[in-house]
Amino acid sequence: MDSGWLVLLSVAFGLLVGAGFMALLHAAERRGSNAVDVVNPAVPDGVEQVINALDSAGVVLDPSNNVVTASPGSIAFGLVAQQTLVHPELIALVDKVRSSGEPVTTTVELARGPFGDASIHFLVRVARLGSRYILLLAEDHSETYRLEDVRRDFIANISHELKTPIGAISLLSEALDPAADDPEQVRRFAKRLHTEAARLTRITQEIIELSRLQAADTLRSAELLNVDHLIASAMDQNHVQAELRGTTLVKGGAKHVEVYGDESLLVMAIHNLVGNAIQYSLENSRVGIGVRVEDGVVEIAVTDQGLGIASDDLDRVFERFFRVDQARSRNTGGTGLGLSIVKHIVENHGGDVRVWSQLGRGSTFTIRLPEATPVASASQGDSR
């Protein structure tokens, strides 16, 4: 009986030791699995799909700053190359977030690619992604900075443009009193006063007109207009200026073409182009106004035989107050707003304006507008 109990106790003890050993093995296995997860965890589910769907730049980095996944935008902007961040500024932000654990949002100006001087302004946000990874998001804000630069330039330019005639009027008015006994001097000063006042009025009117055009998204009232009539009106307004410079105005191309729009605005647009062509042409030269219709688009081209525009300036000629020849424009009374007004008038009519130019050969500005096509009536469309 005693020997039977001893056998049972031995078996029970063996089972207990075996169970304990298996429990230890399972515990060790779980700890090993957890250690592997800590050393080499996977990127959280769905993050890679979200990053790939971003239009902006998105990057996930591991502890060695290797790029685990990156959006197409981050590569297109030149932020990522060969699975690494390109810019030291971004690497410094990532390291800062990794050490502090706090997210960072800031603006950074970075070079676009390894060549050239072009740069991009980014709004960058860097934050932890889980316990191991870092998420970097960058959004291109270059357009915001560009618009701010345009606003500053506009204020600076308008201040300068207004200061010139206002200063001249002030000086001339002060000179009138001492010259009261000299009728010839008074007449000369009065003529200058009239010229400067007219220039100030013109600048003010063009600024008001440009502001009105920029505020209008669409035309409130449009009517059917004959392009021949629009061109004839614009040529008539520039007739005196053309005669003074010995410039011949020539019209050619398609006839009896029609567009929908505001007559006064379209005449102003063509007038500005013709006036510019005369102003920047050589004396005793020729300015041509041609009309063409193709695929439902009416093209009104104004061509001069002037000195032309440098290729670097072609993209800027429609900016407010930008003038290719600053000194010459000032002498001829130009404001630098004419082409900007043309651009906004044409865009408000659903068209666009283009420029071709070559130094020494002249320039061609082309207004492109939708052709007005007649709508058939129900009776005309009924074949019964």
Q: Which helix (H) or strand (E) holds 140?
A: strand 133-140
Residue-by-residue pLDDT tens, the chain, 384 positions: 455 544 444 545 454 444 554 554 454 445 444 433 333 446 677 777 888 778 788 999 999 999 999 998 888 888 888 888 989 999 999 999 999 999 999 999 887 655 445 678 899 999 999 888 999 999 988 888 877 776 776 666 666 667 767 777 888 888 887 877 788 888 888 888 887 787 787 777 767 776 666 655 556 667 899 999 999 999 998 988 899 889 999 999 888 899 998 898 899 999 999 998 998 888 888 999 999 999 889 999 999 988 888 887 887 788 766 666 544 444 444 556 788 889 888 988 889 999 999 888 899 999 999 998 754 333 444 443
Query: Are 236 and 273 within 8 A, CB to CB?
Result: no
CA distances from residue 206 to 60, 346, 382 in whole angstroms, order as listed = 52, 16, 50
Encoding tokens for residue 379?
């009776």
- Cross-strand partners of 80: 85
Give the residue among 169, 168, 341 at the shortest CA–CA distance from 267.
341
Domains of the chain are 47-140 (3.30.450.20), 143-215 (1.10.287.130), 218-375 (3.30.565.10)
- Say what the pTM is: 0.53
CA distances from residue 300 to 9, 94, 343, 351 in whole angstroms, order as listed = 110, 55, 13, 11
Q: Which helix (H) or strand (E) holds 362?
A: strand 362-370
Q: What is the CB neighbour count within 10 angstroms for residue 258?
A: 17
